[in-house]
Amino acid sequence: MTWLNAILQGILLGGFYALFATGLSLLFGVMGIINLAHGDFAVIAGYVAVVLVPSTHLPMVWGFLVVVPIFALGGYILQRTLFQAALSRGDPLTILLVTFGLSVITENALLQAFTANGQSLDIGGLIADSINPNNVISISDVSLAVLIVAVVLLAALQLMLSRTSTGRQIRAVADDREAAELVGINHRHVFGIAAAIALATVALAGLASGMITEFAPTTGTSNLLFAFEAVVIGGIGSLWGTLVGGIVLGVAQQIGAQINPAYQILAGHVVFLAVLAFRSRGLFAVREAA
């Protein structure tokens, strides 16, 4: 029963990783951007909520109504300015260095403004609520909600990509930018929309991490590594792959932790490297690695 619990906790954790990795997967899959500042963006979302939400008199759980639009707009602007300037250089290293620079700037600016102390988003008694089918298994309502949000979000994104005109444009630009340009798509605008979606999802992930656990200016980097693992395990360009990748990683970590708490993260790495060794393009790869 403890093992069943470990697997269930792993699936819940995987939901969080998938939510965290969605934006990364989009940026990687559509623009070929390896966003090293992704984890830090999520941390910014937490601090934005801490600063802005109290003044709106909304409960913290509804904080996403404030933070997500800000991040979507910020994502569009960031893509149209700095990221586009970096992509125009035609060298994948440029964007890597730009996002690396943003990561260093963000972490240290947050340190300067908010100190290194951990913070969390106060959602009151909700955090303690859980479903307890028996005395071993305990499913936290918040974690379950995060998993559901991740699944709904990925389903909605998948539908948007496959059914709507904007989605078709995003896929077209991801497949072949020049050909998409030839049929009249403004790839800069489409990239902007993809970045807006990516940043909106990372805002959700940042808020979720603030509710489930703590965040501090430097916590972004470790979450970033897990998000990368989820994306690569699932396969670049596949949103369902990202969900499966997140869950595979979460379950591996929880089973590792069940064997020995010190092995939690290592178990995730081992599974990641095994996937690389046997299916180097991920479980659900739909296109060549960037």
Partner 1 sequence: MSAASGLLPQDALDGPGALRVRRSARPSGWLVPLALGVVVLLAFMPAIVSTGDTSLLINAFVLLTISTMWNLLAGYAGMVSIGQQAFIGLGAYAVVVGAINGMEPFTVIPIAAVVSALIAVPISMLVFRTKGGYFAIATWVVASAAQLVISSITSIGGGTGHPVPGLSSLSPTQFADISYWSALAVVVVALAMSYLLLRSRLGLVLAAVRDDEDAARASGARVVLARHVVFLVAALGCGAAGAILAVSQLQVEPASAFSVQWSAEIIFVTLIGGMGTMEGPIIGTVIYFALQQNLAQHGAWYLIIVGAVAVVVAIWLPRGLWGTLTRRLRFEFFPVGYLVAPGRREARAPAERGPEPQPAAAGDR
- Residue among 103 and 242 whose Cβ is closer to partner 1: 103
d(CA 211, CA 128): 11
Tokens of 265: 């993260």
31 binds partner 1 (CB under 8 A): no
Among 7, 61, 96, 283, contact with partner 1 (rule: CB under 8 A): 96
Q: Which of 32, 61, 45 is nearest to 175 (CA)?
A: 32
Residue number with CB closer to partner 1 (76 or 228): 228
Residues binding partner 1: what is the number (CB under 8 A)? 46
To which residue do tokens 């089973």 refer?
255
| Residue 265 near partner 1 by CB under 8 A | yes
Q: Which of residues 186-225 bind partner 1 (CB under 8 A)?
A: 221, 225
The full length of the chain comes to 290
Under rule CB under 8 A, residue 105 binds partner 1? yes
Residue choice 73, 109, 128, 179 for contact with partner 1 (CB under 8 A): 109
Question: Which position among 28, 47, 71, 284 is part of the footprint of partner 1 (CB under 8 A)?
Answer: 28
How many Å apart are CA 218 and CA 135, to the nearest integer? 36
In whole angstroms, the minimum distance from the beta carbon of 80 to partner 1 comes to 14
Contact 98, 189 (CB under 8 A): no
Using CB under 8 A, which of 22, 103, 201, 254 touches partner 1? 103
**240 burial type by CB count under 10 A (0-12 exposed, 13-18 middle, 19+ buried):** middle
Q: Is 77 in the site for partner 1 (CB under 8 A)?
A: no
DSSP H or E segment with residue 94 = helix 92-114
What DSSP element (H or E) covers 231?
Answer: helix 220-234
**Nearest-angstrom CA–CA distance, 186 and 164:** 16
Q: What are phi and psi of 90, to 5 degrees?
A: 75, 5
Q: State in angstroms the smallest separation of the CB of 265 from partner 1.
A: 6
Among 5, 7, 32, 119, binds partner 1 (CB under 8 A): 32
Binding region for partner 1 (CB under 8 A) = 28, 32, 34, 82, 85-86, 89, 91-98, 100-105, 107-109, 111-112, 221, 225, 228-229, 232, 236, 262-263, 265-266, 269-270, 272-273, 276-277, 280-281, 289-290
